[in-house]
Chains A and B, each alone.
Chain A
């Protein structure tokens, strides 16, 4: 039963949402970009490593 419900959610929610998302911007950024020199995502200056959050 659980698998059936998950399959329904996948087909009715995830699939349409995925297609719409990909029309706007590929969530996995798969496109190769020959015009770019680099694929780095640079970190904004001043954002240090120690950025964890205390949860309780």
Chain B
């Protein structure tokens, strides 16, 4: 260990901790994976404990703690927002001022106290970074690029909502920013809210909904809501929004503009929500494309790094890649606020002169984003034996072959291997897998496995060497953050369906891999190489060998509203609660048909809050 820095993001949403050794991420995890509360905002005590345990160190060995945003600067923005919103905003003032005065303003002290309470050694000095600096550092320093333009787009941190940076070698310079309340992330969140989904959680549902609609509101958004300049910078017309003066996103002006009140959560989805989603998605892509063109022009770089919550808009990312503004794009897999923990730590190590040694390998420094806890076969075996759970233990080749055959026979498999992913996506370490050629797979997985909305698409994991055979993609997408079209040779002629709209579009088979083909022939691609996750690569290879198809459905190992599973026990519980047919944990294969009846918690679905 050379220079250990612990990064922390907390107290807003998706709290996380990350440990960096001389500029190299060695452990990172979101707190929700341990506490089992989705998007947990509390101090990431268990994530910190995990990171230190993974490195075999205590706080005495850590030279600095990096916190991902500047609370005092954020408070000044909150005060300015109160002043700007008068005479409205009293309720927001009464609700949010007390916690700011009682502890939020002194967040570094709070972090220090919570770390000290862990009893893991002396708390080192705490370095406060800016929110977008943390995002930018998380995007550039671990990227595989010697130099790049860096764009960070999110809701808001302190003041900045969009920032443009230039990364060169070990240096990262900010060039320009847009400020609150003018925020692309908050515009998207406003539509998320208006369509009845949860803010800071349901944005990806809105993105998944967009292909079902027509962008008939896009011109209205451009005319009324956003003043967009040719360089991608913009201002929002705040008369239509409420987030700067209340605790909701939109109000009556928004309702008048978009033909009625917001959809109630869990209410029926109508043509209007499909069209609103399509419209705001189109405008978002337009802004992203213009900002990217400006980034290219101002930096002269041919490569782009992205972070911030909007960088999780993989449809927009795919449009950027397709447009060819940049030769290549690299997106931080934990692009949201969880990644701020990592970025803050990387900013500190960069300041101290850490070298980006991974550049010599030509690969990024994220290790496939597999930075979370792992469980050895000895630990897994002890758990299974301790609970008298029947299993078969296999060598990797036999396991890959057997699982591939079962997938090809239509089975759905829970797949728990190695280190857990850092970031929102399951990338083949905590995944549920299926056969993408099966036309019933999407509805089966949505309704019987994930217990979620039928419109939600699934993503394909594809052997990297065959990605171009199946998808219109010109670069690697190891973190499932680029959407690309299914290749022409795998598209099917749609004989009927031209007149279908909305969710009826789901009933049309569009490709040879229908379970991962969205209604607009797009797919959220994960390319899988042999290096970072050999077990998953081997499974895809075995499936290709058995079926000729190098693609699997890859969805996160959880049910709706629940964080992705972490431990073998959580994987087993999820396996038994759902209609997953087989579970693979390490070298162990479990067959649902051989398991004892599951009677532990009949009411579990009522205990998990909907997302």
Interface residues, chain A, with chain B CB atoms under 8 Å away: 2-3, 6-7, 10-11, 14-15, 17-19, 21-22, 26-34, 36-43, 47-56
Contacts and interface: CB of A to CB of B under 8 A. Distances in A.
B199 interface: no
A37 B234 CA distance: 10
A17 B83 contact: yes
Interface residues of B, number: 55
Contacts of A10: 90, 93-94
A6 B93 contact: yes
B174 A15 contact: no
B221 interface: no
A9 to B, nearest CB: 8
Contacts of A49: 133, 136-137, 165, 171-174, 347
Interface stretch (B13-21, B41-49, B121-129, B371-379): B121-129
The interface centre, meaning the residue of B66, B82, B244 with most chain A CB atoms within 10 A of its CB, is: B82
B350 A50 contact: yes
B545 interface: no
A17 B498 CA distance: 59
Interface residues of B: mostly helix, strand, loop or mixed?
mixed
B347 A30 contact: no
A55 B94 contact: no
A27 B84 contact: yes
11 contacts: A28-B80, A30-B238, A37-B229, A38-B229, A40-B231, A49-B347, A50-B347, A51-B133, A52-B130, A52-B347, A54-B125
A18 B83 contact: yes
Nearest to B86: A18
A50 B130 CA distance: 9
Given A28-B81, A39-B233, A56-B108, 18 more contacts: A6-B97, A10-B90, A14-B83, A18-B85, A18-B86, A28-B238, A30-B238, A32-B235, A39-B229, A47-B174, A48-B173, A49-B347, A51-B130, A52-B130, A53-B127, A53-B128, A54-B127, A55-B125
A25 to B, nearest CB: 10
Contact of A37 (B90, B112, B231): B231
Contacts of A48: 171-174
Contacts of A41: 176-179
A43 B175 contact: yes
Nearest to A32: B227
Contacts of A53: 127-128
A40 B233 contact: yes
- The 3 A-B pairs of least Cβ separation, nearest first, read A18-B86, A28-B84, A39-B233
Interface string B479-512: 0000000000000000000000000000000000
Nearest to B98: A2
Nearest to B229: A38
Contacts of A55: 108, 125-128
Contact of A15 (B86, B127, B133, B348): B86
Contact of B178 (A33, A36, A40): A40
Contacts of B125: 54-56
B237 interface: yes
Contacts of B350: 50
B180 interface: yes
A56 B230 contact: no
A37 to B, nearest CB: 6
Contacts of A26: 84
B229 A30 contact: no
A8 B320 CA distance: 50
User: Which of the listed residues A7, A33, A39, A49 has the most CB atoms from chain B within 10 Å of its own CB?
Assistant: A49
Contacts of A29: 179, 182, 235
A18 B136 CA distance: 33
A39 to B, nearest CB: 4
Contacts of B133: 49-52
Nearest to A49: B172
A26 B235 CA distance: 14
Contacts of B137: 49
A54 to B, nearest CB: 5
B87 interface: yes
A33 B235 CA distance: 9
Contacts of B165: 49
A43 B81 contact: no
Nearest to A22: B84
Contacts of B436: none
B129 A52 contact: yes
Most chain B CB within 10 A, of A2, A7, A51, is at A51
